[in-house]
Amino acid sequence: MDVDIPTPFSAKLLNVIRKCLLGTFTLFASLFAVCRRKRIPVISEDILKLPAIEVARKIRYREITSAEVVRTCIKRIKEVNLTLNCFVCDRFELALQEASDIDALIQSGIKSTDQLHAEKPFLGVPFTTKDSICVKGLPATCGIYSKRNNIATEDAEVIRLLREKGAVIIGLTNVPELCLWWETYNTIYGRTNNPYDTARMVGGSSGGEGALQAAGGSIFGIGSDIGGSIRMPGYFNGVFGHKATRKTVSNQGNFPPVTHEAEDACLAMGPLTRFAVDLKPILKILCKNPKDLKLDTPVEVGKLNVYYQVNINAPLTDAVDFEIEAALLKVVDYFKLKFNTNAQERDIKLLKQSTNIWFASIATDTSPVSLILENPNRCKVFGEIFKNTFGCSKNTIVPLLLGLFKDIDLNGEEYRTFKELGERLESLFKNLLGDDGIFLFPTHPTAALYHNESLFRAFNFTYTSVINSLGFPSTTVPLGLNRKGLPIGIQVVANHYNDRLCLAVAEELEKAFGGWIEPQRKMP
């Protein structure tokens, strides 16, 4: 049953104060942005404008070598990284050697192109991943300064599976400290800039990966998502990203390791791509049992039941910008005009509790601040916050602030209440969507914000995080640029194990609305 729980007066007052501070910050940020904006070069190599599956085909058929593609990616990374600061660690020499070995295998003719396609569908294709997904021999820091010398001793499961299918890992991309915020910044590598406007953020926590994909730095990328960490960077950078149904992709090899059931249930590793057609073949490799997701079962997009909602109406959360709302309604109109689909608008009251539901769904008996500070206590945390104010702390502000809050009592009434609300909301969606329904929903209420502006819009991540709590698959789909030249789009949500519906709709909308748009040389 859906219920509307009134917003407390204190939350309304905080929202008024927040908006006043936000207005002042945004004014100064917009003035400062004039000095910060820099351009990245246009993509000069056509191979970087092709889907990963097409790059793989060209390599198999000897139209281009893997080594040439790897060198092209290396060149592009070096072109854009001084401006974007999205790529943090390379294995270029090893990748080139692996690519040369792959080219020798193909040239030998030992296996036919059909055999290579069947056994190693991404043979020779270079990809990247975020600095919280382990790659053997590379740093695994998760942006934590005290872990800056930590080296991964083995590949994460998703990396192992992709390498087994022929893909070539070329390096790591930037993340926020502890992957705990949705702006990508840490004290090891610094801040990552948006390729569409370098005065703006890239999202998080797969922010470096989202920026690199948008800029054409690798053929595809792998991120992880516990509250929108694939979908928000995908959205802010105008590329596709998919969060799979809960527990269908292994989280082994995440750093720091996943040690709690609650985290494992919400966290999902998955692809970030410039082209929707790449999502399904990558997901087929990553998921534990492809049969569970029935990815090869055809989807008739025109026969799907379509539902949508524009705003979440949660406390301290912004309403959706009018251009994003217009983009969502254009998709609704598209379904009606092309397929005669009568999309139904919903006003699900329980979504107002999304923030509380998410915090309850990831609650554990371990404070995250213990991962960045040894033996933390409130005095120590206050001391680091004071040092941070003067730029002297090696930790970032958000994890430190979280260290001031009392841990959730896993036996308390409040925890049980929000867990129960989450279960009710999940049941409501399951009954609504069935096996042939999709839910169109904003990925985020605004386009990419100015750097640090997220501190005044802290709970806007709720539009994505609630989907993690419910365990549903979701794909973020780019739908063009707004009036300021920034990417906007929506997410497509389906019922458990119906990832194929999200992916099919993403491909349909890419054809209709154009998908990824190369970052413009002329800044807005």
- Is pLDDT of 143 > 80? yes
Residue 214: closest CA among 84, 88, 92, 91: 84
Distance from the Cα of residue 383 to its chain's centroid = 32
Q: Please state which of the ranges 14-18, 23-27, 342-346, 446-450 shows the lowest mean pLDDT.
A: 14-18
Tens-place pLDDT, residues 473-483: 999 999 999 99
- Is pLDDT of 257 > 60? yes
Which ranges of 229-321 does DSSP label H, i.e. alpha helix?
A: 231-236, 261-266, 279-286, 290-293
Give the pLDDT score at 171: 98
Give the pLDDT score at 520: 72
State the burial class of residue 40 (Cβ atoms within 10 Å of its Cβ: 0-12, 13-18, 19+): buried
Tens-place pLDDT, residues 103-130: 999 999 999 999 999 999 999 999 999 9
How sure is the predictor about 22, in pLDDT bands with cuts at 50, 70 and 90?
Answer: confident
Angle between helices 92-108 and 66-84 (to 10 degrees): 160
Which one is catalytic: 66, 206, 218, 229?
229
What's the sign of the alpha-carbon dihedral 246, 247, 252, 258? positive
Q: What is the residue-averaged pLDDT of the chain? A: 94
- Is pLDDT of 521 > 60? no
The answer to whether 10 is a known catalytic residue is no
Q: Find the mean pLDDT for residues 210-230.
A: 98
Q: Find the mean pLDDT for residues 270-279.
A: 98
- Is pLDDT of 300 > 60? yes
Give the pLDDT score at 409: 83
Give the pLDDT score at 25: 81
Q: Find the mean pLDDT for residues 375-383.
A: 86
How sure is the predictor about 411, in pLDDT bands with cuts at 50, 70 and 90?
Answer: confident
Which one is catalytic: 66, 132, 205, 354?
205
Which one is catalytic: 58, 130, 136, 419?
130
The answer to whether 205 is a known catalytic residue is yes
Q: pTM of the prediction?
A: 0.95
How sure is the predictor about 522, in pLDDT bands with cuts at 50, 70 and 90?
Answer: very low
How sure is the predictor about 174, in pLDDT bands with cuts at 50, 70 and 90?
Answer: very high
Radius of gyration of the chain (CA): 22
Joined tokens for residue 365: 């008996």
Residue 176: closest CA among 239, 99, 228: 228
Residue 425: closest CA among 505, 259, 309: 309
Give the pLDDT score at 524: 42
Q: Find the mean pLDDT for residues 370-385.
A: 87
Give the pLDDT score at 470: 98
Give the pLDDT score at 33: 73
Say how many Å lie between the first and final Cα of the chain, rounded.
46
Q: Please state which of the ranges 181-190, 397-406, 468-477 shows the lowest mean pLDDT.
A: 397-406
In whole angstroms, give the CA distance from residue 333 to residue 336: 5
Which ranges of 276-353 does DSSP label H, i.e. alpha helix?
A: 279-286, 290-293, 322-339
Q: Find the mean pLDDT for residues 398-415.
A: 85
Q: Please state which of the ranges 199-203, 407-411, 447-451 shows the lowest mean pLDDT.
A: 407-411
Percent of the chain with pLDDT over 90: 85
How sure is the predictor about 11, in pLDDT bands with cuts at 50, 70 and 90?
Answer: low
Instruction: Tell me which of 290 and 266 has the higher pLDDT.
Output: 266
Residue 234: closest CA among 243, 244, 226: 243
The answer to whether 229 is a known catalytic residue is yes
Give the pLDDT score at 361: 96
Q: Find the mean pLDDT for residues 311-327.
A: 95
Domains defined for the chain, CATH in brackets: 52-365+407-513 (3.90.1300.10)
Q: Find the mean pLDDT for residues 85-102.
A: 98
Give the pLDDT score at 523: 42
Give the pLDDT score at 1: 66
Q: Find the mean pLDDT for residues 317-338.
A: 98
Percent of the chain with pLDDT over 70: 97
Give the pLDDT score at 375: 79
Give the pLDDT score at 104: 98
Q: Which residues pair with 441 in a beta bridge?
A: 491
